[in-house]
Amino acid sequence: MIEIVIPYIAIIIVILFLVMLAQKLKIAYPIVLVVGGLAISLLPGLPVISINPELIFIIFLPPLLYEAAWYTSWKDFWRWRRVITSFAFLIVLLTSLVIALVSQMIIPGFTLALGLLLGGIVSPPDAVSATSILKTIKVPKRITAILEGESLLNDASSLIVFRFAIIAVSTGSFVFHEAALSFVIVVLMGVLIGIAVGLVYFAVHKWMPTDPNIDIILTLTAPYVMYIAAEHFHFSGVLAVVSGGLFLSSKSHLFLSHSSRLRGANVWSAFGFVLNGLVFMLIGLELPVIVNQLGNVSLGAAIGYGVLITLVLIVTRILSTLGASVFTVFISRYITTADNRPGWKGPVIIGWAGMRGVVSLAAALSIPAYMGNGVPFPQRNLILFITFTVILLTLVVQGISLPYVIKWVNMSDPDNHLPESEEDSRIRKMLAEHSMQYLDANHSERVKVSPGLQQIRARLENDLAFEHPQYDHQAKDYQDVYLQLLIKQRLFLTALNKEQDTDEDVIRKLQGLIDLEEEKLRVRFDL
């Protein structure tokens, strides 16, 4: 048992060091993890690590999708719903067809069904890398919203294409109208199952005597229940998790206490970080297994096919996003759109942010070794290698160059959003004014006689003062002195705790309150 656990502990430790290296180099950590895993896999004497696709689909995918759905802005998602759905479904289907045609033409022995299978595997971009890069670069909010929304849905459409392509390769037949009807049913029923499971969890959270620990555990089980329930009936588990996550997130203020929300956010942040780190590291570690399985295909030829398919993917996505922009201008004459003049800059950024990731590799690995009649599945090993090449090239080449593409495009914010710091000050000012109006209108007499309420009102007045530019220097003094004061308070409590008659539980509670005060200060002033 220890022999099984030790490698994974070692991987997690390596992940932590590589992420710190990525932060030092100011490179998105998925890129460093994949390259680091690739470098480690080439070291002699290391055990070969093989990825079980079921591990990805069951253990990793549901919580990662759920976390992404939970923190997705439903307002932004709905505003850009047409763009998101067209990218997640139409462009994925178009990309799959283009890859099917190109691979049939250039790869010996590839049929149209095998090409469609490859297209379904490599068509969905992975947004983890893109969003991790965009967090450190000034880019219009709509770009991030569209990429995040697309990533919630495109895995579902690509896996559905993958499922039908497997059937076509195995049976040798493909009936379009039956596949189209099945596609619609799989999508709709996946969404309905996700919402149904979400309603059950909402009821449990709302009306059962839960506490923060129970609430957090329930949120950890929710994505697995949604995914497994949908997949059990052969519907889209991905869309079940996404729809259920969006539903519960939009209602979280109704059934989660403040403590459950705060503690749950910390748990999910760490959990998602570890899962993302593991999957990107495992992509790099998988290289020796994939190369050893190439069989009769030469390594040079396989690399050539992979590079060519990658180029086709990149060009197809950029042309598709630009084409979507042109179509939006046309259709805006007849319907109301979120932006009737999207231009070329946004589509270029979105098109170049099409890095592939773990879902593509997991799908390729899940191709059965043998078909139902015992015949080896054709071209399985080559499809695996091409998929790995696509992931590696898009992550490294597009991932590293994306900041430069964004800088070259130099896209201003068409929505005229204020910078986050200014928006923060504006809303804080409105909140303080609203709170003071409430106190004056409803509790003015009690404020006059209550020192505690007077302190609250004074703090609100303080908040208002900090939102004026002429008081910036005072805000800086406030930050510096308050942080020093919190440090002194910690030192005092630590010294006090050494006394025999001091209750350590009380000391820990007060230390926790000091930590919370520092967190509030750092979040407010972005320290």
For residue 254, being part of any structural domain is answered with yes
Q: Are residues 515 and 489 in the same domain?
A: yes
Flag whether pLDDT at 125 surpasses 80.
Answer: yes
Domain that holds residue 19: 2-409
- Per-residue CA distances from 447 to 456, 460, 461, 499 (Å): 9, 13, 14, 39
Res. 470 pLDDT band, cuts 50 70 90? low
415 lies in a domain?
no
- Residues near 26 by beta carbon (within 8 Å), at least 6 away in sequence: 136
Last residue of a domain, one of 389, 409, 429: 409
* Inside any domain, residue 493: yes
Query: 164-168, 181-185, 206-210, 515-519 — which one is most confidently predicted on average?
Result: 206-210
State the average pLDDT over residues 75-82: 84
Beta bridge partners of 370: 376
- H-assigned helices in 394-450: 399-409, 420-442, 444-449
Location of structure tokens 């209602």: 251
- Which of the pair, 361 or 204, is modelled with greater confidence? 204
Number of domains in the chain: 2
Say which residues have a Cβ less than 8 Å from residue 161's Cβ, sequence separation at least 6. Answer: 92, 93, 96, 116, 119, 120, 123
Whether residue 384 lies inside any domain: the answer is yes
On whether residue 414 sits in a domain, the answer given is: no
Same domain (yes/no): 42, 106: yes
Contact 223, 269 (CB under 8 A): no
- Domain of 47: which CATH number? 1.20.1530.20
Task: Tell me, yes or no, whether 181 and 144 share the same domain.
Answer: yes
Looking at every residue in the chain, the average pLDDT score rounds to 83
- Return d(Cα 514, Cα 129) in angstroms, integer: 35
* Position 275 in a domain: yes
Q: What is the pLDDT of residues 178-220, one digit of tens each?
A: 667 877 888 899 999 999 999 999 999 999 999 989 999 999 9
pLDDT at 468: 56
209 is a domain residue: yes
206 is a domain residue = yes
Predicted pLDDT of residue 308? 95
Q: Are 389 and 364 in contact (CB under 8 A)?
A: no
Residue 341 has pLDDT above 80, yes or no: no
Give yes or no: residues 369 and 503 share one domain: no
Domain boundary among 376, 409, 442: 409
**Type of residue at 14:** V
Q: Are residues 385 and 435 in the same domain?
A: no
Q: Is there a single domain that holds both residue 168 and residue 298?
A: yes
128 and 43 belong to one structural domain: yes
* Stretch 340-355: mean pLDDT: 86
This prediction's pTM = 0.84
Residues 140 and 47 both lie in one domain:
yes
Considering the domain architecture, whether residues 65 and 37 belong to the same structural domain is answered as: yes
443/400 same-domain check: no
Residues 472 and 332 in one domain: no
Domain boundary (360, 387, 409) is at: 409
Q: Which of 40-49, 115-124, 144-153 has the highest mean pLDDT?
A: 115-124
Are 396 and 424 within one domain?
A: no
pLDDT reading at 358 higher than 90: no
pLDDT given at position 109: 83
